[in-house]
Amino acid sequence: MGRYVIRRLLQMIPVFIGATLLIFLMVNVMGDPIAGLCGERQCDPATAAQLRSEFGLDKPVWQQYLTYMGNVFTGDFGTAFNGQKVTELMATAFPITIRLTIVAIVFEIIIGITLGVLTGLRRGRPVDSGVLLLTLVVISVPTFVTGLIVQLLLGVKWNVISPSVSSAAPLGELIVPGLVLASVSLAYVTRLSRTSIAENTRSDYVRTAVAKGLPRHRVITRHLLRNSLIPVITFIGTDIGALMGGAIVTERIFNIHGVGYQLYQGILRQNTQTVVGFVTILVIIFLLANLLVDLLYAVLDPRIRYA
């Protein structure tokens, strides 16, 4: 197991470098960030040259990337064009988005897996058809439509929740936005769990456990569920990074100043340091989540061992 972890950590290095290099190049071709600082008027040539020199934009792109990566490994993610450290923006944004992501993941695990198990054990029955139809509708509707409808009904018309989240973003105010953020992923988890449960129900090891006279709840929890959760855990693990990076729409709708909000502002203002810095952390989170998922395989299925 130890060798496997070390090997996976070493494999993350080229993936991390490739991902950050790609993002760095994409952000640099979006446009001239200095021109955006001057608003509608064209920057004075002397001022523009001074700003490019101050932020290191007068150097070749490859040299900018090497300088940036060297600073990253020392904990310096650069300075935004407004003079604020990117690490300060991260310190305020990431805790909010992490809380929002945790709420979304909890909804995926509890509601998604529960509905998947119920429909998988009752395949072909009315409850199965109803849940499949409901999840198909949720998947078909874009997240921004779901968010706006929920905000209009619960926040404006019925006054059940506040239409926008406060700046502190306590956990209680993130429940509804978390459900909106998790809605599409929750539907996928339900369908994936249902398919996996329905297929494994006909497996030999399940029939053997039933033939031994084991209680139904033990057959489901100890045998059927553990093997059926492997593809579900894989999806949820890869979904963690997607939820954190894809929360731009949800955070904009509910006025949540998290990672999605900062990424949106950085892209809007062509702030290279902010966008690349936040995406760099998201890449690290995505790689670590995938490593954790791989290690969980051996816990769920004893047949899986890592040499």
pLDDT in tens, 105-134: 999 999 999 999 999 988 888 999 999 999
What are 37-56's pLDDT values in tens digits?
A: 665 667 777 777 777 777 77
100: part of which helix (H) or strand (E)? helix 86-107
Check if the beta carbon of residue 30 is closer than 8 Å to that of residue 270.
yes
CATH of domain 87-300: 1.10.3720.10
In percent, how much of the chain has pLDDT > 90? 30
Q: Supply the pLDDT for residue 301.
A: 65
Q: Mean pLDDT, the chain, as a whole number?
A: 85
What is the four-CA torsion angle of 74, 79, 84, 90, rounded to 10 degrees?
Answer: -50
Confidence of residue 234 (pLDDT cuts 50, 70, 90): confident
Q: Supply the pLDDT for residue 306.
A: 55
Q: How far is CA 222 from CA 111, 116, 219, in A?
A: 20, 17, 6
Q: Supply the pLDDT for residue 78.
A: 82
Domain residues of the chain, as ranges? Answer: 12-74, 87-300
Q: Which residues pair with 85 in a beta bridge?
A: 79
End-to-end CA distance of the chain: 6
Query: Which of 54-58, 71-75, 177-181, 212-216 is modeled with the greatest confidence?
Result: 177-181
Closest C-alpha to 174, from 116, 97, 67, 82: 97
Q: Supply the pLDDT for residue 92.
A: 92
Judge whether residue 307 has pLDDT over 60: no
Q: Supply the pLDDT for residue 140.
A: 93
Q: Supply the pLDDT for residue 62.
A: 83
Query: 């509707």: which residue's tokens?
Result: 141
Judge whether residue 248 has pLDDT over 80: yes
Rounded Cα distance, 239 and 19, in Å = 17
How much of the chain is helix, strand and coil, in % rounded to 5? Answer: 75, 0, 25
Judge whether residue 289 has pLDDT over 60: yes
Q: Supply the pLDDT for residue 9.
A: 83
Q: Supply the pLDDT for residue 73.
A: 85
Confidence of residue 95 (pLDDT cuts 50, 70, 90): very high
Q: Supply the pLDDT for residue 256.
A: 92
Q: Supply the pLDDT for residue 72.
A: 86
Q: What is the CA radius of gyration of the chain?
A: 24
- Look up the pTM and report it: 0.85
Q: Supply the pLDDT for residue 151.
A: 93
Q: Of 12-21, 49-58, 108-117, 225-234, which gets the smallest average pLDDT?
A: 49-58
Closest C-alpha to 138, from 193, 97, 191: 191
Rounded Cα distance, 219 and 56, in Å = 62
Tokens (6 digits) for 125: 């029955």
Judge whether residue 28 has pLDDT over 80: no
What are 143-158's pLDDT values in tens digits?
A: 889 999 999 999 889 9
Mean pLDDT, rounded, for 12-17: 87
Rounded Cα distance, 166 and 172, in Å = 11
Mean pLDDT, rounded, for 243-272: 85
Rounded Cα distance, 47 and 38, in Å = 10
Mean pLDDT, rounded, for 279-290: 87
